[in-house]
Structure formats: C-alpha cells, structure tokens
C-alpha cells in the first residue's frame, strides 16, 4: 500500500519525538517602555520596513545595557550603516538578505555538515523525507511508500515532475547514489546500510530497500534534520566520494533555490535565485517538512563578522534577518519598532566541551570525568544566553526530551579543582602545551571556549588557545594528527537539540572510533546500545537501551556538557513566516 502525503509514517515509537512544544512567543519592539515577556524554560522548550530609515540612535539605557566593552563599537556601528548597494527599490523588495551564524567557506553538506553548510544545502538540495517540529518524518520528495515482507522490503515512490536545476528529471537512480554517499559519512546512515541487503532503483520513480531485518527507523534516517541530512543530488555528483568535498560545479540540486556559482565569495557571501521550476508540496511548511514556497526572487546570504555592525544593518533595513544576534544586543533589537526577535529553536541547544580521545591527557577517562565535574555550567550559559533562556543540564542528551537521564551534579569548588589536578598527575601530564581550538566569529561558541581556557589555566594547565575563523577551526578539528602536528586537544561547541535528540541522530554520543565525529571516542558497549535502541521491537526495549547508553556514556564521556540554552533570532518586523527548527529555513517568508 502506498501511503499518501500526510499519512502515518513508519517511525520509532515515542523515543525519537520530544514532548509537544509550547506556543512560540515572538518578542516584538513596540516603542519606548516595551517590556518583553519573560519566557519560561521548561521541558519540551518550547518582521521589517522596505525603505531606508535614518541610522537609529542608541539611548542611554541601551548603552548601559550593552556594557562598557561594547559602547564604542556599537555606537560607531549604528552611526555608520553598511554601504547601500545600487539596487532599485523594487529589486530590493524582492531580495531577501540573511546574515548566518558563521561564514560559508565550504559547500558540501555531506563532507562537512556544520549548521551554516546545512542551511546552504537546504536551499539548494531537497530530501526524500523532512522532519517536522516534533521530529516526525513526513514525505518531501517522496510521494509515499509501501512496506512489505514483514517490514523487510520498503519501496519509496518519487513525486512526479521533480527536476534538477539543470532541467534533467530526478530519477530514483540519483536518489540511490545520494543515499549511499550520505551513508558513507553519517553514523545513522551507516547503521541503516548495515541493515540493508540491497538498495536499488527498479524504475525511475521507485527506490527499494531490501533489508536483512525490519528497520523501524528507516524513515527517521532519511528525514534526519540538522546535522547531516540525507540530501538528494544527481547521480553523477553523488558518485563522488563522500570524503572529498564537492565544489562550485556540483551545486546542482532540486531545492527551492538555485545557487549562483559566479557570485559566490568564499567566507563572505553566497547568492541564490528562486527555482521557478520547483513544485512545493501542498502541506503547510513546518520546519524541514511541508511546502517550501519561496516568495522572493533572490536570496543573499551575507556574512558580517562584527555583531554590532550586523545589528545596525538590521535596524536600518539593509539586511532582513540575523540568525544569531549577540545576546546583549537582543534588548536593543526588541525595543526597535522595526525589528523583532523570536526563539530560534524552542528545543534549545546543548553546549559541550569535546575531548580529543586520540591523544593524552584526554584519552584518560579519569581526566575527562574530573573536568566534567569542575565545569560551572551557569558561568558558561550566562556567557551565551539571556537570563531565563538557559538551564543547567547534567546529561548526555538535551534535558527535557523523552527518556533523558539527568545525573546528579558533583559539588564544585576547590575540592573539585584539586581532583582535576590529581587526575592530570595520574595521567602523567607534565606541563605539555594543551591546544584548545575556538572560533573567533561564532559568539555562541567563542565565549564558552574562552571560559574553558581560563578554567584550565586556573587548574595549572599550560593552555595554548588557537582562535581563528569558523572555517579554519572546522578544518583543524578534522585533523587527527597529534596536537603539535596540526591536531588539537579540546574544542567547545554546541548542538541543536533536534540533531542530538536520541541515539540515532546524535553525532556527539557516538563512540565508534575513527568513524566517530571529531574527537574519535571508542566504546563498544556504548555502540551496542545505540544499535539496540534503533533496532528495538518495542518501547520497553528501546527505553532500556536509552537508559543504559546514558549510564555508559556518562562514565566514558565522549564530551562534557556545559548546559542547555535557547538562542534568539532577529528579523525585520515586516518579514513574516519565519519558521522554527534546528536550522534557519529560507522559505515560507514574505515581506508584508
């Protein structure tokens, strides 16, 4: 039986999906005296003028809130807007300008699945299934599917009329090659392929999985959101090895935006044109699922390194949307009558310190545990989020999601500090340089990294921090060499809850050695519980595997959590249709 769009999909029984989300309040600037409502941070966490207005002034109260360290910077930025491009007003009205969280320096979402690259890829490419806000898989390029032979044969039928940006028809053979390339790099994909006896295309519109055993999570894998979605590409492109990055000439997808290769400036800007041949689904857009309707002719993704300059450009209407405004600029943007903010992703982000398990001293679990128990999460969280938008989270998955175990927090203080020093001595650490890699242009990460360096120095560690742009940090993070030969020891980062919500999708929890996410932890017992969770036949078995996995990884420690926080995104008040999710979704948007 073919299940039509919107029908019940074969998915995991409750373990994948978070609790129903609460209504998503939008905080708007309504003039002087506006008092933004404080939002409760609880389990399940849950617009813009077309003309050019004069540069906004900074009030005394705003200046006080921004703090001494930002006064000169912000005043200068607000008084000097970005140079205005020579666009006619009608053209400007039909152009969407978006400032992402980091510079786009690589284009291949399979080779390097960071959030900024995934955002770019969602514009250019499409997926067979998309996840809604509750992380439930919904048909996207798929018309529907059938499940036969007691779940061991799954056939997916493509929608009619799908075309690549070069005009060629999308074929099932393209999708088979795309799934294989994705699975060569993605942990969830690797488990799926181990369960697959044969993946084939019986005809141009049918993709067939012949499985060794039932694989209830198959559609969840194909709808995997956030980090490393299963994007579809033409066969000739998907046949390129997954461990080699695709280039400009490969940016041919079937998504709602066409990439304009000759206007791309690496690390600065990328431009897109509306794909007039795209046929969106009829359902309402929700996160990565539903109808991806584009109401602008052109998209410009512009990287502005300075947060104060970006905020000024938003207030004057020179850009339409900032993915992550600096937290101390949020109150200013909320009071501006032309801008508004809303929670970026109601499920939040889990911050964490990633250890490199290949090299001493962090290959010693005693050191990792001691550092976990000395981190003061409130310090890390207050550096990246507003009061009320964060909570402590002593867990291996985002707190508040189904089945997540929150472990008792160890007492902090001088005794905890001494335990770290003792663990380092036991691991034979003798003052060697410890390299911490940290992006200088990613505020939600940068400040946490600097706090880690400060903490480690207080512990007597010889820290050698390396700060660089995000693209350079990503390149170094992938280097397995000893730290003195281009590698690293420590790295702070964060993961959107949707991308680490359960054992199947979490890149951070996997401990499969050289195939793991950078840090390359190894623990066969943890990996066994990941597979047990994915292959569980009933809820009780899945719950057991989930709990056991958390107990194992809390001890073996692929990373140390630094807390759970929500970020705000900011946009012009006349921009409507901003969707929530683990990525910014650049469709469903209109200018009022």
- List the 298-302 sheet strands across, edge first: 26-28, 339-343, 568-572, 321-322, 95-99, 298-302, 269-274, 257-259
For the segment 498-542, what is each residue's pLDDT rounded down to a tens digit? 889 999 889 999 999 998 999 999 999 999 999 999 888 889 999
Q: What is the pLDDT of residue 327?
A: 87
**CA–CA separation, 47 vs 323, rounded Å?**
13
What is the distance between the alpha carbons of residues 93 and 575, in angstroms, rounded to a whole number? 11
How far apart, in whole angstroms, are the C-alpha atoms of residue 423 and residue 364? 9
pLDDT score recorded for residue 60: 40
Rounded distance between C-alpha atoms, residue 131 and residue 137, angstroms: 5
**Burial of residue 134, with CB atoms counted within 10 A of its CB: 0-12 exposed, 13-18 middle, 19 or more buried:** middle
**With b meaning 16 or more CB within 10 Å and e meaning fewer, what string describes 411-420?**
eeeeebbebb
Nearest Cα neighbor of 348 from 381, 306, 371 is: 381
Answer whether 291's CB lies under 8 Å from 284's CB: yes
SS3 assignment, position 34: coil
The CA distances from residue 157 to 171, 175, 220, 236, 433, in Å, are 10, 11, 17, 21, 55
Entry pTM = 0.80
Q: Tokens 């001493």 label which residue?
A: 360
264 neighbors 61 (Cβ within 8 angstroms): no
Question: What does the pLDDT average to over 286-297?
Answer: 96
| pLDDT, tens digit (0-9, with 9 covering 90-100), for 363-396 | 999 999 999 999 999 999 999 998 899 999 999 9
For residues 173-189, average pLDDT: 96
Q: Average pLDDT in the 8-16 region?
A: 35
Task: List, for residues 313-333, the tens digit of each pLDDT value.
Answer: 999 999 999 998 988 899 999
Contact at 8 Å (CB) between 344 and 567?
A: yes
Smallest CA-to-CA distance from 380 within 466, 447, 453 is with 447
In this predicted structure, the answer to whether residue 219 has a pLDDT above a threshold of 90 is: yes
**Which residue in the block uniquely carries the two structure tokens 């545990």?**
369
CA distances from 209 to 146, 215, 242, 427, 491 (A): 11, 10, 21, 48, 38
Residue 414 has pLDDT above 50, yes or no: yes
Evaluate if residue 54 carries a pLDDT over 70.
no
Beta-carbon contacts of 533 under 8 Å, excluding residues fewer than 6 positions away, are 15, 502, 503, 504, 542, 545, 546, 549
pLDDT at 69: 38
**Domain residue limits, the chain:** 115-238, 349-565
**What residues have CB less than 8 Å from 249, skipping those under 6 apart?**
261
Ordered DSSP codes for 168-234: PBP-HHHHHHHHHHHHTT-HHHHHHHHTEEEEEEEETTEEEEEESS--TTHHHHHT--SSS--EE--
Q: What is the CATH number of domain 349-565?
A: 3.10.105.10
| Cβ neighbours for 524, distance < 8 A, ≥ 6 positions apart | none
Interior/surface letters 390-410, b for 16+ CB within 10 angstroms, e for the rest: bbbbbbbbbbbbbbbeeeeeb
Phi, psi of 343 (to 5 degrees): -60, 130
pLDDT range class, residue 10, cuts 50, 70, 90: very low
Average pLDDT over residues 118-134: 95
Instruction: Supply the Cα-derived Rg of the chain in whole angstroms.
Output: 24
**pLDDT for residue 114:** 86
CA pair distance 564, 67, nearest whole angstrom: 25
Distance CA(285)–CA(277), nearest Å, equals 18
Judge contact between 15 and 539, C-beta under 8 A: yes
**CA–CA dist 468, 333 (Å, integer):** 28
pLDDT for 460-472, tens place per residue? 999 999 999 888 9
Q: How large is the average pLDDT for residues 166-193?
A: 96
- The class (CATH top level) of 115-238 is alpha beta
């Amino acid at each position: 039986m073919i299940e039509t769009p919107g029908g019940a999909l074969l998915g995991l029984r409750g373990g994948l999906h978070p609790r129903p989300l609460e209504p998503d309040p939008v905080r708007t600037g309504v003039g002087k005296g506006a008092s933004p409502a404080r939002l409760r941070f609880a389990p399940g966490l849950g617009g813009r003028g077309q003309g050019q207005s004069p540069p906004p002034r900074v009030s005394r109260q705003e200046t006080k809130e921004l703090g001494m360290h930002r006064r000169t910077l912000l005043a200068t930025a607000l008084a000097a807007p970005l140079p205005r491009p020579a666009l006619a007003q009608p053209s400007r009205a039909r152009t969407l300008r978006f400032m992402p969280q980091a510079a786009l320096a690589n284009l291949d979402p399979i080779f390097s699945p960071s959030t900024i690259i995934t955002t770019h890829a969602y514009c250019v490419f499409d997926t067979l299934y998309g996840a809604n806000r509750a992380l439930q898989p919904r048909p996207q390029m798929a018309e529907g599917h059938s499940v036969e032979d007691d779940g061991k044969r799954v056939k997916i039928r493509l929608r009619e009329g799908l075309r690549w940006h070069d005009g060629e028809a999308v074929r099932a053979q393209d999708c088979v090659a795309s799934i294989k390339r994705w699975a060569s790099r993605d942990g969830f994909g690797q488990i799926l392929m181990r369960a697959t006896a044969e993946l084939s295309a019986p005809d141009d519109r049918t993709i067939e999985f012949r499985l060794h055993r039932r694989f209830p999570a198959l559609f969840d894998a194909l709808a995997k959101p956030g980090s490393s979605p299963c994007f579809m590409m033409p066969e000739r492109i998907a046949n390129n090895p997954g461990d080699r990055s695709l280039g400009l000439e490969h940016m041919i997808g079937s998504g709602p935006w066409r990439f304009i290769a000759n206007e791309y400036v690496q690390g600065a800007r990328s431009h897109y044109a509306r794909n007039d041949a795209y046929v969106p689904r009829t359902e309402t857009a929700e996160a990565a699922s539903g109808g991806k309707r584009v109401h602008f002719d052109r998209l410009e993704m512009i990287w502005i390194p300075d947060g104060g300059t970006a905020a000024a450009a938003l207030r004057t209407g020179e850009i339409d949307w900032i993915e992550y405004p600096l937290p101390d600029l949020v109150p200013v943007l909320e009071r501006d009558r032309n801008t508004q903010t809303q929670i970026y992703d109601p499920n939040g982000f889990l911050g964490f310190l990633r250890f490199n398990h290949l090299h001493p001293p962090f290959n010693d679990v005693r050191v990792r545990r001691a550092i976990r128990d000395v981190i003061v999460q409130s310090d890390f969280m207050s550096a990246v989020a507003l009061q009320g938008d964060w909570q402590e989270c002593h867990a291996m998955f985002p707190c508040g999601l189904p089945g997540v175990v929150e472990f008792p927090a160890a007492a902090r203080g001088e005794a905890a500090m001494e335990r770290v020093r003792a663990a380092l001595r036991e691991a034979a650490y003798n003052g060697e340089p410890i390299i911490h890699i940290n992006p200088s242009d990613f505020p939600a990460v940068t400040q946490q990294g600097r706090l880690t360096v400060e903490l480690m120095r207080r512990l007597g560690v010889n820290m050698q921090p390396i700060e660089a742009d995000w693209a350079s940090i990503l390149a170094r993070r992938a280097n397995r060499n000893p730290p003195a030969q281009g590698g690293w020891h420590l790295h702070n980062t964060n993961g959107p809850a949707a991308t680490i919500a359960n054992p199947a999708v979490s890149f951070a929890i996997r401990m499969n050695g050289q195939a793991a996410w950078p840090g390359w932890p190894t623990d066969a017992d943890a990996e066994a519980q990941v597979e047990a969770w994915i292959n569980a036949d009933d809820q009780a078995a899945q719950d057991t595997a989930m709990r056991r996995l958390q107990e194992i990884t809390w001890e073996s420690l692929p990373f140390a959590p630094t807390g759970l926080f929500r970020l705000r995104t900011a946009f012009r008040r006349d921009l409507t249709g901003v969707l929530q999710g683990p990525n910014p979704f650049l469709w469903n948007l209109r200018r009022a």
